[in-house]
Amino acid sequence: MDTTPLPVLYVWSKLSALRWEDAWQERFYGMPRVSPVLTTLPGGKTVRVEVYCERQVDAEKIQKEFGGSLRTLKPQNWAAPAAQRLKPVVVRDRLIIAHDEATRAAQQAAHPQRIVLLVPGEMAFGTGDHATTSTCLRLMVDYAAAQRSPWSVLDMGCGTGILALAAAKLGAASVSGFDYDPAAVRISKKNATLNGVRGVKFTCEDMTTWEVKEPCDLVLANIFYDVLTLSFGKIAAATKPGGRVVVSGILHSQAEGCLAAGRAAGLVFAEPIRRGKWVTAWATRP
């Protein structure tokens, strides 16, 4: 029986005009240890912004910057209700992302020829339902289907480990990932164990100080656009000549400048893929 104490969550909330919805989403997207929830209120002119924080200090920092109110939620298993709200993510006819054991078992029974990956809803980014993650997964499924020789993968900003673990399940011979948030690395390792994936190396690294060790065939970077913009030199260096890069986490309004930085680093981009307000892009290192 698991006797691990359940976590307290600290919730910051504020009402805002609907026109600022994109700005709020961009502000909190991908932040470690926090989960933003935006709800449009009846009438369609106001949005309730709530941010669920693991640490009280994070919630207080948000309140100090933006005002609003704080409340504490008593401990319970937050991952379980989150998983119940999330539907399985189907990627082509090859991969399914489930968020709880029962769903994984049901999906595997219904689709025995497909890979079913279990990624519980936790406080790290990447459950497969966000447009950025699902598009990265789709591009990786297509890439894997075209490979006829061993291929290697690097996941920059691994979050829950979903992209790295999917790559391993899809047949990558060598997979590694890193994140600057120790909690994300811990969750990635936990998810590797849940899925019986061995040999994937997850480490805690800061992109600003991380150094390229061995270039890979496929490099994935679903991270902040500003970090991408500053790091395209490292992303290109981490990619083998002739290798592929997938970048995401970019709002459409940011895409032109962000991808221009990638081109300046020597990457050649295909036409970006837009899903709603988000952009994902393929690139090749010549």
Q: Cα–Cα distance between 152 and 233 in angstroms, integer?
A: 19
The secondary structure of the chain as a DSSP string is ---PPPPPEEEEEEEEEGGGHHHHHHHHTT-TTEEEEEEEPTTSSEEEEEEEESSHHHHHHHHHHH--EEEEEPP--SHHHHHHHPPPEEETTTEEEESSHHHHHHHHHH-TTSEEEE----SSS--S-SHHHHHHHHHHHHHHHH--S--EEEEES-TTSHHHHHHHHTT-SEEEEEES-HHHHHHHHHHHHHTT--S-EEEE--TTT----S-EEEEEEES-HHHHHHHHHHHHHTEEEEEEEEEEEEEHHHHHHHHHHHHHTT-EE---EEETTEEEEEEE--
Do 194 and 69 sit in the same domain of this protein? no
Last residue of a domain, one of 76, 94, 114: 76
pLDDT at 5: 57
**Same-domain check for residues 142 and 205:** yes
Range of the domain at 167: 129-284
Same-domain pairing of 48 and 189 = no
Q: Beta strands 46-53 and 239-251: pairing type?
A: unpaired
**Is 202 within a domain?**
yes
- Flag the least confident range among 43-57, 160-174, 235-249, 266-280: 43-57
**Whether 142 and 277 share a structural domain:** yes
Asked if the structure places residue 193 within a domain, the reply is yes
Rounded-to-integer distance, Cα 190 and Cα 212, Å: 25
> Length of the chain in residues, anyone?
286
26 occurs within a structural domain:
yes
At 97, give phi and psi (nearest 5°).
Answer: -105, 120
Domain assignment present for 92 = no
- Binned at pLDDT 50, 70 and 90, residue 1 comes out as very low
Q: Are residues 153 and 239 in the same domain?
A: yes
Does residue 180 share a domain with residue 268?
yes
Quick one: pLDDT at residue 123? 52
Same domain, 153 and 71: no
Q: What is the mean pLDDT of the chain?
A: 88
Residue 83 lies in a domain: no
Any domain includes 117: no
Q: In this structure, is residue 263 part of a structural domain? A: yes
Q: Is the pLDDT of residue 81 over 70?
A: no
- Choosing from 57, 76, 95, the residue where a domain stops is 76
The residue that leads in pLDDT, 38 or 69, is 69
Domain containing 65 — which CATH number? Answer: 3.30.70
**Whether residue 70 is found in the same domain as residue 164:** no
**Any domain includes 222:** yes
Last residue of a domain, one of 76, 95, 118: 76
Residue 196's domain is classified under what CATH number?
3.40.50.150
The pLDDT score that the predictor gives to residue 30 is: 63
Structure confidence by residue, pLDDT tens digits, 229-282: 999 999 999 999 999 999 998 988 889 999 999 999 999 999 999 988 889 999
**Number of compact structural domains in the chain:** 2
Residues 44 and 184 in one domain: no
pLDDT tens for residues 137-147?
A: 999 999 999 99
Beta bridge partners of 13: 50, 69
